Amino acid sequence: MRRFALSAPILAVAVILSCGGGDGGGTPDEAGQTSSRRAVAITDTIGVELGDSNYVFGAIEGVCFGPGGNIYAMDLVRGSAMVYGPDGRFIRSIAGRGEGPGEITIPLDMTVLNNGRVLITALGGIHGYTSEGGYLGVLGEYLQNPPLNLTAVGDSSFLATKLSVVPRESGDVVMEHWLARLDDPSEPALKLREGSMPFEPDNLTEMLQRTWFAYDIAGDRQGRIYLAPRSSEDFVIEVYSFGGELLRTIEHDVARARKTPEEIREEKDWMEQRLQNMGVSGVVIEFEPDPYRRMITDLGVDGQGRIWARRGTELSPVFEVFSPEGEHLFTAEMPDVGEEGQFWEFAIEENGMAAFSTNPELFQQVYILQPE
């Protein structure tokens, strides 16, 4: 699963980022289908405030899993992918800030392909590493605006989004964008979405909503691709084949939820402050939140092929879980997290489940999760 987060500026534009059982009886859910409610538990944590530097995070940008169940956490401050075993034990760090071989200057995003290869996007392109940390070089060179929101799909492919600011001969400037599957990091193999819009530095909100904030995305080892439009009106998941054929559309009946004035103010302040902290330039940093909460805020596929979609209408973590065929199976929740869960981002993939807070009260941790 990849959620779109915020990253550093390129070409004077805000570049948006992010680093996929059984059922039993129950009661009718909101759509009238039989389901049950289950819990997701925190089984362990990675991260300390003080102590061993291998467990002290600077700024986590994303979390994902490797084929063997190892946990990878992208630390923007270090410029490294920190690797931990399924039990939370530190194994190694991959890459680091610098200008030497295998080092990167400005890290942006990360994913681990299902064949074990590690990809880290930085200024200049997509850097490749072996699962043991060996440097493979710049696998895809992008001098301007490298692809972001990298998400593994199939064996050695990944999904990504890219935007480019393109000046026209007429003097106008447009922002072109695509969401694609890449088999080779240097170019798209299949564009699932693409478009363009005028580049308007004083209209940041619309640019975000029409480009990087348009979808939550996920992929699985079988090559299926999952897109959830980031809508505050409709709970919809689109499932595509590896070749881009629409296999099914999953819908669920969820009531809309209006944000409180305090939520809107906090979201606006938090988003604008984060943009400023990232050094974004070339745009007017003024974000206007949607007055309604988004229907889906996280998307992932677990080891049983079940599709997990976090319900954005709830501040605490609540997921609607579907079978690979689109049948609603159950609702899962983390009742002890509370409203702080609105800042959590989740990695739900074949090899495990984890989460981290983008706005922790004290220090950042990776939470290792296990559903009932």
pLDDT in the model for residue 274? 62
**Distance separating alpha carbons of residues 70 and 64, to the nearest angstrom:** 9
Q: Are 75 and 62 in contact (CB under 8 A)?
A: no
Looking at residue 270, what DSSP letter applies?
Answer: H
Backbone angles phi, psi at 227, to 5 degrees: -125, 130
- For residue 285, which of 176, 343, 208, 211 has the smallest C-alpha distance? 208
Residue 13 bridge partners (DSSP): 10
Query: With 60 as the cut, is the pLDDT of residue 13 above it?
Result: no
5-20+24-371: CATH topology is: Neuraminidase (2.120.10)
Tens of pLDDT, residue by residue over 248-303, are 999 999 999 998 888 788 877 777 666 665 555 556 666 777 788 889 999 999 99
- For residue 36, which of 330, 371, 332 has the smallest C-alpha distance? 330
**Distance separating alpha carbons of residues 43 and 104, to the nearest angstrom:** 33
pLDDT in the model for residue 99? 87
Residue 322 bridge partners (DSSP): 307, 328
Residue 175 bridge partners (DSSP): 165, 197
pLDDT in the model for residue 1? 47
Mean pLDDT of 312-319: 94
Tens of pLDDT, residue by residue over 36-61, are 889 999 999 999 999 999 999 999 99
Query: With 60 as the cut, is the pLDDT of residue 233 above it?
Result: yes
**Distance separating alpha carbons of residues 178 and 198, to the nearest angstrom:** 15
Q: Are 3 and 219 in contact (CB under 8 A)?
A: no
Mean pLDDT of 350-370: 94
Structure-derived torsion over alpha carbons of residues 269, 272, 276, 278, reported in degrees to the nearest 10: 110
Tokens of 70: 């190892």
